[in-house]
């Protein structure tokens, strides 16, 4: 051990990647150490940046020898410390292996599912795919946080941002905001920027709809239109939409494929955490009646605009909704997952078939355990890789109720 920069510099071998994306090594005293920007089998010299009794965190000082999954990041900002994409330093193959392994181990360890057969579906693009980007602002210019820190790294382009954002990132002036959400309709050309807390001093091209977060809720013109699966979607500044229209289409298609493989009833679909209505508006067409439940007021307004009259949109939390009998439930919760409250609502619908869309491997594992306890069996599980260059996963799982 040497003590450069007043910190303890330590040599460590990386043997795994954690669900959160960091490399995992072991210190001489037996504690686990997490290292951002590491690859499996990297031999690293690290500085310890955080120490707890059971684990520590370190940052790379030197790569002594690189694991075979390591590559040079394509983006200059990663080299400068940008933490926007945490896996640009991994080869495509290493990213795929790590995602499959994270989902498998979460299903085994947290979900108690013996031998999950996890499928992998290649996403639509590996770069320039994101049609919504949320970035910090420093001195009027866009910035990402350095990984594991609140320090900012200013950027003037972004490897995963849609090309319609190019001039906004390169030349946009975002005044005194602390954060901005940039949203584009890749198939309509619409562009919108929402500043937090406001848009004082913004200088952007005339075609861009500019709105302060403090005003976005009441302003009915703060939206873009996007096209996906043959439908035009109204997406307001504060509403959720998938990372790209192609990704949204693939997600809806995956859900549709699984439903067609099974002899599902066609009376009632319940779409929980419905957003602007992606599933209600696509596979929902196969059902006589659709109930969509969503808590965000702007997403509910958008859904009412986007969906046909056979869809009843309920503006409320899933936990507060009164469950109804359903043939199929599709549930696409935020990062925390369904938790016991969401699973309990699904159980009460008595739906024989449930599709769960999880955007966090850990939450999937915990929900899997709850779904099993609620009488459901895992039938199929696929990763749809909508977030290449990052450790984020989108997992589509199909569940069948035990008779
Ligand atoms: C991952 S998004 C999925 C949206 C939609 N299914 C889609 O594919 O575009 C999760 C959605 O759940 C909503 N949400 C979060 N917590 C909720 C809750 N407790 N009850 C209802 N909706 C909730 C969010 O506003 C968001 O629109």
Closest CA to 295 of 333, 249, 330: 333
pLDDT of amino acid 3: 38
Q: pLDDT band at residue 227, thresholds of 50, 70 and 90?
A: very high
Provide the token pair at 389. Answer: 């260059």
Query: Which residue's alpha carbon is nearest to atom 20 within ligand 1?
Result: 317
DSSP class of 128: S
Q: How many secondary structure helices (H) and strands (E) does the chain include?
A: 9, 23
Closest CA to 325 of 285, 356, 287, 352: 352
CATH 3.40.50.1820 for domain 4-70: no
**Residue 358: how many other CB atoms lie within 10 Å:** 27
User: Is the C-beta atom of 201 inside 6 A of ligand 1?
Assistant: no
- Going through 156-246 in order, the beta strands assigned E by DSSP cover 173-174, 179-184, 191-196, 202-203, 209-212, 223-228, 231-236
User: Which residues sit opposite 196 in a β-bridge?
Assistant: 179
For 73, list phi and psi in degrees, rounded to 5.
-60, 145
Q: How far is CA 81 from CA 57, 88, 253, 265, in A?
A: 16, 12, 37, 51
2-17 residues labelled b (16+ CB within 10 A) or e (exposed): eeeeeebbbebbbebb
CB-based contact 12:61 (threshold 8 Å): no
Residue with token string 């190019």: 166
Provide the token pair at 325. Answer: 């009998």
Burial class (CB in 10 A: 0-12, 13-18, 19+), 283: buried
163: CB partners within 8 A, 6+ apart: 128
Distance from the alpha carbon of residue 331 to the mean position of ligand 1, in angstroms: 9
pLDDT of amino acid 7: 64
Mean pLDDT of 296-307: 96
Angle, vertex CA 124, rays to CA 371 and CA 400, nearest 5: 20
CB-based contact 338:312 (threshold 8 Å): no
* Tens of pLDDT, residues 117-161: 999 999 988 999 999 999 999 999 999 998 778 899 999 999 999
pLDDT of amino acid 1: 41
Give the mutation target among 240, 242, 323, 356 for probing the ligand 1 site: most ligand atoms within 8 A of CB: 240
Query: Which atom of ligand 1 has the smallest separation from the CA of 357?
Result: 1
pLDDT at 108 over 90: yes
pLDDT at 232 over 70: yes
Rounded Cα gap, residues 110 and 105, in angstroms: 8
Rounded Cα gap, residues 20 and 34, in angstroms: 10
**Hey, is 119 helix, strand or coil?**
strand
Give the mutation target among 132, 295, 315, 364 for probing the ligand 1 site: most ligand atoms within 8 A of CB: 295
Same fold: 93-125+242-401 with 132-236: no
Query: Which residue's alpha carbon is nearest to atom 19 within ligand 1?
Result: 317
* CATH architecture under which domain 132-236 falls: Beta Barrel (2.40)
What is the model's pTM? Answer: 0.94
Provide the token pair at 272. Answer: 């929980």
Q: Domain residue spans in the chain?
A: 4-70, 93-125+242-401, 132-236
pLDDT of amino acid 207: 97
C-alpha count within 13 angstroms, C-beta hemisphere, residue 81:
13
CATH 3.40.50.10860 for domain 93-125+242-401: no
* For residue 332, cis peptide bond before it (omega within 30 degrees of 0): no
Rounded Cα gap, residues 209 and 240, in angstroms: 17
For residue 134, the surrounding DSSP H or E stretch is: strand 132-138
SS3 content of the chain, % helix, strand, coil (to 5): 25, 35, 40
**Residue 322: how many other CB atoms lie within 10 Å:** 8
pLDDT of amino acid 79: 86
pLDDT of amino acid 385: 96
For residue 395, the surrounding DSSP H or E stretch is: strand 395-401
Distance from the alpha carbon of residue 304 to the mean position of ligand 1, in angstroms: 15
| Strands 55-65, 395-401: pairing kind | unpaired
pLDDT of amino acid 221: 83
User: Is the C-beta atom of 305 inside 6 A of ligand 1?
Assistant: no
* Tens of pLDDT, residues 154-187: 999 999 999 999 999 999 999 999 999 999 999 9
pLDDT of amino acid 243: 95
């Amino acid at each position: 051990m040497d003590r450069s920069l007043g910190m303890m510099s330590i040599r460590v071998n990386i043997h795994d990647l954690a669900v959160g994306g960091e490399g995992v090594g072991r210190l001489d005293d037996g504690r686990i150490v997490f290292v951002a920007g590491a690859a499996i089998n990297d031999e690293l010299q690290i500085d310890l940046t955080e120490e707890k009794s059971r684990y520590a965190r370190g940052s790379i000082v030197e790569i002594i020898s690189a694991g075979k999954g390591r590559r040079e990041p394509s983006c200059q900002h990663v080299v400068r410390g940008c933490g926007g994409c945490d896996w640009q330093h991994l080869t495509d193959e290493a990213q795929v292996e790590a995602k499959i392994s994270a989902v498998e181990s979460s299903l085994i360890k947290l979900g108690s599912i013996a031998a999950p057969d996890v499928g992998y579906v290649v996403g639509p693009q590996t770069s320039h795919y994101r049609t919504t980007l949320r970035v910090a602002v420093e001195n009027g210019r866009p910035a990402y946080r350095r990984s594991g820190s609140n320090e900012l790294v200013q950027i003037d382009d972004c490897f995963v941002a849609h090309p319609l954002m190019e001039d906004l990132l390169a030349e946009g002036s975002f005044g005194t905001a602390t954060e901005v959400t940039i949203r584009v309709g890749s198939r309509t050309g619409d562009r919108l920027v929402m500043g937090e807390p406001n848009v004082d001093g913004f200088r952007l091209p005339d075609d861009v709809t500019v709105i302060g977060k403090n005003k976005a809720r009441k302003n009915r013109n703060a939206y873009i239109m996007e096209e996906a699966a043959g439908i035009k979607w109204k997406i307001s500044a504060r509403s959720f939409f998938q990372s790209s229209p192609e990704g949204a289409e693939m997600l809806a298609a995956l859900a549709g494929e699984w439903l067609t493989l099974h002899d599902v009833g066609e009376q009632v679909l319940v779409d929980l955490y419905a957003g602007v209505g992606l599933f209600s508006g696509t596979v929902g067409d196969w059902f006589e009646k659709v109930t969509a439940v969503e808590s965000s007021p702007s997403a509910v307004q958008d859904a009412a605009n986007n969906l046909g009259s056979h869809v009843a949109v309920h503006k409320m939390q899933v936990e507060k909704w009164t469950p109804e009998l359903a043939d199929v439930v599709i549930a696409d919760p935020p990062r925390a997952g369904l938790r016991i409250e969401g699973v309990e609502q699904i159980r009460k619908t008595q739906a024989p078939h449930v599709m769960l869309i999880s955007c966090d491997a850990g939450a999937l594992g915990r929900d899997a355990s709850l779904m099993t306890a609620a009488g459901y069996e895992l039938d199929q599980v696929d990763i749809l890789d909508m977030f290449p260059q990052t450790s984020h996963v989108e997992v589509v799982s199909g569940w069948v109720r035990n008779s």
